[in-house]
Amino acid sequence: MKTRSMRTKSDTRRPAGVLPLSHAMVFLLLNASIGLETPVLSLMLLARGATFATLPLVMGVTLVVTAVCEVPSGVAADALGRRRLFCWAMALQVVAHLVLLLPPGIAVVVVSSALRGLALAARTGTLEAIELDRVVADHGDARGRCAALDILNGRLALLESGGVGIGALAGGLLASLDASYALLICAVVGATACVLVGAAILFPRDVRHIGKRSSIAAALADMRATLAAPGDVRLVLVNSTSAGIVMLAVETYWQLAFQQLAGVGCEWILGPLNCAGMIAAALGSSAAMRWGASLSQALGRQGRRMLYGLVHAAAAICLLLFAFTTNVWLFAAVYLLYYVCIAARSVIEQTVLHNAVPSEERAGMASVQSLALRGGGALASATGGWVVAAFGVAGVWPLYAAASLALELVAFASDARAARTG
């Protein structure tokens, strides 16, 4: 017992041991494969058969498929094995991009978007749940566990920022070399295949948590009980819906808004700007690791929750600021500030959520949280065509910022009311 206690304290003092290097490399390559298409996703879909009118609907196909499959895939990860489901997700991601190599057309884009949504749902919370379980098991003390979760979530966020940034630089270059985006699509396929092989070889054998219970129905019943109780889980889910609105608005329209300011021929700038956004996100993640631990020590549980609310509101305010950008430099500054805020929000959110969730529900609850995030995005996607038609791209920013802030206010007011009556 003494040996375990000493090891736990050592882990707390030496955060570098929270995430194995080989696992970190898989996460980095995964995010690089995502980053390849991030700065030019809308433009790539337009080149492969979408139109300005159908682009929000194509984005919506991915969101709807992800939403429908999100919770079943999370429960399946707990039941069948998280590594196994992740490998299936990577295989689906490869197929989704191979479909895009067919002759351009709206049907090709829709099928690819549906497969991408299925892959995204299957991937959610799989490899991350393996790492989170290990950290929770190694830290029995509540304060030490939250500190270790901050470190792990921060490192995962840094790998996401770094990987997407590296991929964005390469993706922007490949897009500028090939107007059909076929070269970029092949690069995504190759990187994703390498991630699949790395995960299969380097990650541990699956542990099937639901085997300890009577059935998948019992697992769903336990999750419903967790969701029904007021507290951190419900707070995170409502705020995730709010964040989904903000993130979908930026993901769908930032390239078009930047192009309107910079003019035709600016595509080569999108990759470096997106990469700079990932560097800003890394700064936000690093700051969140420090601020979360400091406020938690000074103010307890409420300190981390207060920081969560502040950075979430700041991300929505950045969305509003886009409406006031009159040149590319102001736009770039707001874009970078947005990534600082959204990355810091994500780190704190993951710690709040996974500190409140039992291990056997971890992948399933991560899927529920992702479903809430996609739900907010789906709401923004469903109304995007009408908003752009009525107010132009500039109208997206204030309307969706107001919707996000309203949802956050509802989340924290409801949580405060429940705390008073409880």
Which residue would you say has higher pLDDT here, 413 or 313?
313
| Average pLDDT of the segment spanning 368-385 | 80
**pLDDT recorded at residue 189:** 96
Mean pLDDT score of the chain: 81
**pLDDT recorded at residue 300:** 59
**pLDDT recorded at residue 410:** 85
Q: Is the dihedral of CA 250, 305, 288, 324 positive or negative?
A: positive
Which residue would you say has higher pLDDT here, 13 or 216?
216
What is the C-alpha to C-alpha distance for residues 24 and 155, in angstroms, rounded to an integer? 9
- pLDDT at 153 > cutoff 80: yes
**pLDDT recorded at residue 16:** 40
- pLDDT at 210 > cutoff 80: no
**pLDDT recorded at residue 224:** 63
**pLDDT recorded at residue 15:** 42
Least trusted range by pLDDT, from 121-135, 266-280, 295-309, 367-381: 295-309
| Average pLDDT of the segment spanning 254-266 | 79
| Average pLDDT of the segment spanning 405-422 | 78
**pLDDT recorded at residue 384:** 77
**pLDDT recorded at residue 419:** 63
- pLDDT at 244 > cutoff 70: yes
**pLDDT recorded at residue 301:** 62
Which residue would you say has higher pLDDT here, 99 or 228?
99
- Is the separation of the CB atoms in 304 and 297 below 8 Å? no
- pLDDT at 363 > cutoff 60: yes
Q: Using pLDDT thresholds of 50, 70 and 90, give the confidence band for residue 12.
A: very low
Least trusted range by pLDDT, from 127-131, 171-175, 384-388: 384-388
What is the C-alpha to C-alpha distance for residues 228 and 168, in angstroms, rounded to an integer? 40
Residue 385 three-state SS: helix
**pLDDT recorded at residue 228:** 61
Burial of 240 (0-12, 13-18, 19+ CB in 10 A): buried
**pLDDT recorded at residue 315:** 93
Q: Report how far Cα 233 is from the mean position of its chain's Cα atoms.
A: 17
What is the C-alpha to C-alpha distance for residues 99 and 102, in angstroms, rounded to an integer? 6
**pLDDT recorded at residue 229:** 63
Alpha carbon of 141 to those of 10, 304, 306: distances in Å?
13, 17, 22
- pLDDT at 414 > cutoff 80: no
Least trusted range by pLDDT, from 67-81, 96-110, 153-167: 67-81
Please give the radius of gyration of the chain, using alpha carbons only, rounded to the nearest integer: 21
What is the C-alpha to C-alpha distance for residues 214 and 225, in angstroms, rounded to an integer? 16
- Is the separation of the CB atoms in 411 and 349 below 8 Å? no
> In 3D, which of 104, 121, 10 has the Cα closest to residue 64?
121
- Is the separation of the CB atoms in 361 and 287 below 8 Å? no
- Is the separation of the CB atoms in 291 and 307 below 8 Å? yes
Q: Using pLDDT thresholds of 50, 70 and 90, give the confidence band for residue 322.
A: very high
**pLDDT recorded at residue 9:** 38
Least trusted range by pLDDT, from 124-128, 197-201, 358-362: 358-362
Query: Residue 130 is encoded by which pair of tokens?
Result: 């393996």
> In 3D, which of 283, 302, 279, 282 has the Cα closest to residue 292?
302
